[in-house]
Structure 1
Amino acid sequence: MAGAQPSLQDVMSALGVISGRLTSVENKLQCLDKMDQRTAVLEKDMKTLWLALEDSVKRVDERVSKLQYSAEGADIASAHVSSRIDDLERERDSLRKDLTYMKSQSMRNNLIFTGVPEVESESPDTTESILRKHLTDALKIARETVASIKFERVHRSPGEHTRGKARSIIAKFAFFKDKESVRSEWKQFTGTNYNVFEQFPSEVVAKRRKLLPKMKEARSNGKRSMISYDTLYVDGRPVGD
């Protein structure tokens, strides 16, 4: 009926619908509350993670700074060590030169004779007798002069005697003057299998060996050249290695 008032049943039915809708809204609000709570927790967790990340980054930055500082310190230390090594190498080279010089001084009165026949089971006294005879026969030095020469030691070069091959004789003269007097007669050996030369440390021998071709080249060019100790002289002037 038009304009009729709603019955109690209609009102109750409408209220039921409204109540249902309110319940639905409440449920949705509760869900939203839970979502808000979850969002808050998530934001809290995110903040915690972010702070943790910032802390990690800070620690990494500190470590990098320390490493950079250490690296700079290492460069300084490395430069110091390198400088020290250079000093030690120079000191070592200087000591080697001093040692070589001392060796050469100990060999100052020594001459080495090659090609002198060797007998089996040769004793030092026999070696000296053979050398004295060699000085008289091969170098043409007067017998009386040879007899007056004093040796500190005369011996064969180290190693075992091989039949048919004579080891060199190393003679240490008591006086430098006698040594030079004998050495000055080296030309007597020209055209023979004999030779005589001064004894030097191995380091000096190596240098002299390198200088020998330069000395020969200078002589072939008509220049006066000679090797004294470990230095080449051409026309009276020292020449570098």
Structure 2
Amino acid sequence: MIESMARGIDNLRRDRNDLQEKVTDLQCRSMKMNLVFNGLEKEHPREDTEGKLREFLSIELGINAHVEFANVHRFGRYNRGRPRPIVARFIYQHDLNMVLESAYLLRGTPYGIHQQFPTAVEERRRSLYPVMRHHRQQGANVKMVRDRLYINGEQYDSDDWDDRYPEDTRDETALKEHFGYR
């Protein structure tokens, strides 16, 4: 009796995890054409967010081509000291790629551009950043796709971590300290 209940609970947990993965995948697909822009100042209730974004693209990135947006708006909680990020949904993939390819021009500025991902994916990505930085410093070819890290063409698996690094470097805080990140 208890064993069958335990199996039932395990099946329910597995089903729940499968559903969570499917929902996360659907969220990723729905956000595929979205970019988040940080640091665009002077937020006010009646601002022309799309116009502000077009001006930013022209001045900061030198993109004067007409970019088609489906929707542009600010999101997140209002915080007096900081402007909320702007999310823009692009209609055409080539427009999104053009903006992403120009994002390197923002290094050293208060601005930032990144793809939008669901919270669950952002958390997984955040845990992979220290590993990614370490391998980049070692000269490896590193690429992050959604929430998966590829090092020299092979998918990074945290289970392999045990064989390569000391035990105290497995959690993110210890990893940052071990490799000198802040």
What TM-score do the two structures reach when normalised by structure 1?
0.63
Name the structure where helix makes up a greater proportion of residues.
1
Give the match for residue 155 of structure 1.
73
Match runs of 1:17-28 below 5 Å? none
Give the match for residue 132 of structure 1.
54
Q: Distance in 1 between matches of 2:93 and 2:16?
A: 31
Does structure 2 conserve the Cα–Cα contact (< 8 Å) formed by 1:108 and 1:176? no
- 3-state SS of 1:113 partner: strand
Amino acid at match of 1:231: R
Structure 1 residue 152: Cα displacement: 1.2
Q: Distance in 1 between matches of 2:152 and 2:21?
A: 27
Q: Distance in 1 between matches of 2:90 and 2:42?
A: 20
What TM-score do the two structures reach when normalised by structure 2?
0.83
Q: C-alpha root-mean-square deviation of aligned residues, in Å? A: 1.3
Does structure 2 conserve the Cα–Cα contact (< 8 Å) formed by 1:118 and 1:167? no
Amino acid at match of 1:81: M
- Larger Rg: 1 or 2? 1
Q: Which stretches in structure 1 are left out of the alignment for 5+ residues?
A: 1-76
Q: Distance in 2 between matches of 1:161 and 1:122?
A: 17
- Deviation digits for residues 203-232 of structure 1 (CA, Å, limit 9, x no counterpart): 000000000000000011111112110001
Give the match for residue 91 of structure 1.
15
- Deviation digits for residues 164-206 of structure 1 (CA, Å, limit 9, x no counterpart): 5211111111122221221111101011111100000000000
Give the match for residue 177 of structure 1.
94
Q: Distance in 2 between matches of 1:193 and 1:154?
A: 20
Does structure 2 conserve the Cα–Cα contact (< 8 Å) formed by 1:225 and 1:235? yes
Match runs of 1:178-217 below 5 Å? 178-217=95-134
Match runs of 1:1-241 below 5 Å? 77-123=1-47, 126-141=48-63, 143=64, 145=65, 147=66, 149-160=67-78, 162=80, 164-241=81-158
Say which structure, 1 or 2, has more relative contact order (CA 8 Å, 6+ apart). 2
- 3-state SS of 2:149 partner: strand
Q: Which stretches in structure 2 are left out of the alignment for 5+ residues?
A: 159-182
- 3-state SS of 1:117 partner: coil
Q: Distance in 1 between matches of 2:96 and 2:79?
A: 26
- Deviation digits for residues 46-70 of structure 1 (CA, Å, limit 9, x no counterpart): xxxxxxxxxxxxxxxxxxxxxxxxx
* Equivalent pairs, count: 158
Does structure 2 conserve the Cα–Cα contact (< 8 Å) formed by 1:211 and 1:232? yes
